[in-house]
Structure 1
Amino acid sequence: MKALVINCTLKRSPDASNTEALAGVVTGQLEKEGVSDGLVRAVDLPIEPGVTSEPVTDGDAWPQVHGKLLDAEILVIASPTWLGRPSSVAQRVLERMDAMLSETDDGRPIAYNRVAGVVVTGNEDGAHHVISEISGALADIGYTIPGQAWTYWHLGPGPGPDYLDDERGREWSHRTGRAMAANLHAVARALAEHPVGAPPE
Structure 2
Amino acid sequence: MRALVINCTLKPSPQDSNTHALASVVLDALRGHGVEVDEVRAVDFDIKPGVESDMGPGDQWPPILEKVLAARILVVASPTWLGRPSSVAQRVLERLDALIAQTDDDGVPIAYNRVAGVVVTGNEDGAHHVISEITGALGDIGYTIPGQAWTYWHLGPGPGADYLDDDRGHAWAHKTGRAMAANLVGVARALDARPLSAPPE
Q: TM class, shorter-chain normalised?
A: over 0.9
Q: Any gaps of 5 or more consecutive residues in structure 1?
A: none
TM-score normalised according to structure 2 size = 0.99
- 1:56-75 matches, within 5 Å, as 56-75=55-74
- The corresponding residue for 1:168 is 168
Deviation of 1:57 (Å) = 3.2
RMSD: 0.5
Q: SS where residue 95 of structure 1 aligns?
A: helix
AA at the equivalent of 1:85: R
- The corresponding residue for 1:77 is 76
- 1:67-146 matches, within 5 Å, as 67-105=66-104, 106-146=106-146
Deviation of 1:58 (Å) = 1.3
Q: SS where residue 185 of structure 1 aligns?
A: helix
- The corresponding residue for 2:194 is 194
- How many equivalent pairs are there? 200
Q: Deviations over 1:127-153 (max 9, x none)?
A: 000000000000000000000000000
Q: SS where residue 40 of structure 2 aligns?
A: strand
Q: SS where residue 39 of structure 1 aligns?
A: strand
- The corresponding residue for 1:179 is 179
Q: Deviations over 1:85-126 (max 9, x none)?
A: 000000000000110000001201100000000000000000
AA at the equivalent of 2:140: D
Question: Percent of aligned pairs with the same residue?
Answer: 73
AA at the equivalent of 2:7: N
Q: SS where residue 112 of structure 2 aligns?
A: coil
Q: Deviations over 1:5-57 (max 9, x none)?
A: 00000000000000011000001000010000011100000100000002x23
Q: SS where residue 200 of structure 2 aligns?
A: coil
The list of structure 1 runs, each at least 4 consecutive aligned residues, that deviate by more than 6 angstroms after superposition, is none
Alpha-carbon distance between aligned partners in 2 of 1:61 and 1:38, rounded to the nearest angstrom: 17
Alpha-carbon distance between aligned partners in 2 of 1:88 and 1:57, rounded to the nearest angstrom: 21
Q: SS where residue 39 of structure 2 aligns?
A: strand
Q: SS where residue 13 of structure 2 aligns?
A: coil
